[in-house]
Amino acid sequence: MSEQCPACGAQLPTPLACAACGALIDPPPGLSPWALLGLEPCWRVDAGELQKRLVRLSRLMHPDFFAAAPQAARDLAGRNSARLNDAYATLLDPARRTEWILTDRGAPSAQAERTMPQSFLMQVLEWNETLDSARETQGAARASALQNLLAELSPQREALLGRLGSLLEPLPAPGSPALLAARRELNALAYLDRALAQIESLRLSA
């Protein structure tokens, strides 16, 4: 993908639009979320800076700014805005961001590699028992059990994200053993996120 605008030759801040001449661009599919946001690929992101970049780039292609343009331009503005927003959502979400990296670099899929880190498995059994017990109780007993479990799982999630950062920053080469280890950590993250969602659902129904 050229880094220059095909209309005016200016350097592009995103493959989706030109800041110099205002041209909308229809890039090929498959570009990474980092590329769409004009960033270098990396695992760690600064949420605040990512938000600022989204706002700045959104102004180049927001459909409202093309309301009087021909239909083709309006359609392209809508598609490009959607692609930019999806790229932002992918990079903001650690699980989606990690999944993109692993898929792009040829790591085993979640279907092919279902295991979690061995040290995590015994804790999972205990957490599942706690959740099952909480489902069978009501009132203050349920609320206390869920609060205790939440206090245990939340720091576990933060620690897991730290391990993913250690494995994926800098980004490993395709075929690196770090990718398999990261897949297993991502499986653990998926479990934690499901468990936290169940806790929230039980708290709301208490």
Tokens for 83, please give them.
């692609």
**Tokens representing residue 17 in the block:** 């639009």
- Asked if the peptide bond before residue 170 counts as cis, ω within 30 degrees of 0, the response is yes
pLDDT for 51 beyond 90: yes
Report the chain's mean pLDDT, rounded to a whole number. 95
Confirm or reject CATH 1.10.287.110 for domain 1-92, answering yes or no. Answer: yes
CA distance from start to end of the chain:
53
Enter the tokens of residue 42.
């990396």
25 has a pLDDT exceeding 50: yes
- Mind listing the pLDDT tens digit for each residue in 155-196? 999 999 999 999 999 999 999 999 999 999 999 999 999 999
Mean pLDDT calculated for residue range 139-154:
94
The full 3-state SS of 95-138, as one line of letters, equals: HHHHHHHHHHCCCCCCCCCCCCCHHHHHHHHHHHHHHHHHHCCC
> What percentage of residues in the chain have a pLDDT greater than 70?
99
Contact 105, 171 (CB under 8 A): yes
Cβ(92)–Cβ(164) under 8 Å? Answer: no
Cα–Cα distance between 48 and 88 in angstroms, integer?
Answer: 12
Q: Where are the domains of the chain?
A: 1-92, 118-205
Banded pLDDT at 1 (limits 50, 70, 90):
very low
Q: Does the pLDDT at position 2 exceed 60?
A: no
Closest CA to 127 of 75, 60, 180, 195: 195
Cα→Cα distances 194→3, 10, 119, 134, 191, Å: 40, 46, 19, 15, 5
